[in-house]
Amino acid sequence: MKLSILDQVPRSSETTNEIALKETADLALAAESLGYSRYWIAEHHDLQGLLSPTPEILLAYIGAKTNSIRLGAGAILLPHYAPYKVAESFNMLSNLFPGRVDLGLGRSPGGSAEASEALSGNFIERIASMDDRIEELMHFIRRDFPSDHRYHSLKAAPVPFEAPAVYMLGTSKKSADLAAKHRLNYVYGHFMNTEDDHHVIGHYRSQRKQGQAFACVSVLCADTTEKARELYRSVLVWQAFNQTQEPLLAIPTVAETAYLVKQLSEATQDTMEQQLNEAIVGDKAYVKKRLDDIAESLQLDELMVLTHAPELRDRLHSYRLLTEIYPQLVSL
């Protein structure tokens, strides 16, 4: 099993968009030096505090700063885009960074209904064609359209020596079925749905015996459990405001959180405490026990971590502590 990172590119209230984007490259460099296997960028649209609407652009920036870590999208939301354009973009990245590029595919909207409409029109209609979109994309990636197909001679240029590795991301049997049908490895979004992990991953493995299954989990590790919980309260307050109040433009600091939490209802605060108790948030011993249980019960081929915290240093320290917990999972 390997250890990797999914970054949704969150912004701290103590920084700016410009600095937060540069910090993402700093984190990727640190992840490379720590021995993480891959660094993926998520795709979201008009979600306050997340700065990742165009993963392929940020990946080009990160790729120019790093040397060996695999880079990828987690995920490109394919219903929004023409498969040919996606193939062109990731073939370009594969030329720039040979042998290092992953293309993760998702089927969610990644934002509001208004954002989906502005991006691609009727999202429901487009998601219904997801199977055909993946098939067309894979033909462009593999360059194996049938001889009588209208795109047989069309290339997603520049064609790389090594094509990007393609993955399917999701949390449902539908995404697992698509992964199995198109012979793709599968990444389960455990941080979005902790209830169906065994069912969905088991379903995928029943359909594709040779496929690899990853899980992406939300983790925040600190020197003490008390410190980790203090940091994660800032994340929960940010999420709570974005769901129930005027959205926050960034994750608040610990000091700001102490003020903001008082503006939330008692019911919301109780929900936050329940979420905190259920989260993989704590010191090395606690985090190791929780992650060991997940990895063993799901028999994962790779564990991918998503880490939100008030500041860059908190996220970096969590990444560093995880490599101390699992020195055998990193490749120095």
Element holding 102 (H helix, E strand): strand 101-106
The mean predicted confidence, pLDDT, of the chain is 96
* Mean pLDDT within 182-211: 96
**Residue 119 pLDDT level (bands cut at 50, 70, 90):** very high
**Percent of the chain residues topping a pLDDT of 90:** 97
- Give the list of residues 6+ apart from residue 202 with CB closer than 8 angstroms, or none: none
Q: Is 35 left (phi over 0), alpha (psi -120 to 50) or beta?
A: left
Q: Which helix (H) or strand (E) holds 104?
A: strand 101-106
Q: For the residues 228-255, what does the mean pLDDT come to?
A: 94
pLDDT at residue 206 in the model: 97
What is the arithmetic mean of pLDDT over 126-154? 97
Contact 303, 4 (CB under 8 A): yes
Mean pLDDT of 232-245: 94
**Residue 164: exposure state from Cβ atoms within 10 A (0-12, 13-18, ≥19):** buried
Q: Could you tell me the pLDDT band of residue 331, with boundaries at 50, 70 and 90?
A: low
> For strand 38-41 and strand 70-77, is the pairing parallel, antiparallel, or unpaired?
parallel
Mean pLDDT, residues 134-146 taken together: 98
Q: Is the pLDDT of residue 245 over 80?
A: no
DSSP state letters, 231-279 = HHHHHHHHHHHHHHSSPPSSBPPHHHHHHHGGGS-HHHHHHHHHHHHHS
Return all residues near 195 (Cβ < 8 A) that are at least 6 apart: none
Show the tokens assigned to 231. 């940091």
pLDDT reported for residue 332:
53
Kind and range of the H or E run holding 217: strand 213-221
Q: What is the mean pLDDT of residues 254-277?
A: 95
Mean pLDDT of 309-331: 93
Q: Which long-range contacts (CB under 8 A, 24 or more apart) does 145-153 make?
A: 151/84
Q: What percent of the chain has pLDDT over 70?
A: 99
pLDDT in tens, 82-108: 999 999 999 999 999 999 999 999 999
Spatial contact of 116 and 123, defined as CB atoms under 8 Å apart: yes
Q: How confident is the model at residue 329 (pLDDT cuts 50, 70, 90)?
A: confident
Give the mean pLDDT of 171-198: 97
What's the pLDDT score for residue 60? Answer: 98
- pLDDT higher than 80, residue 53: yes
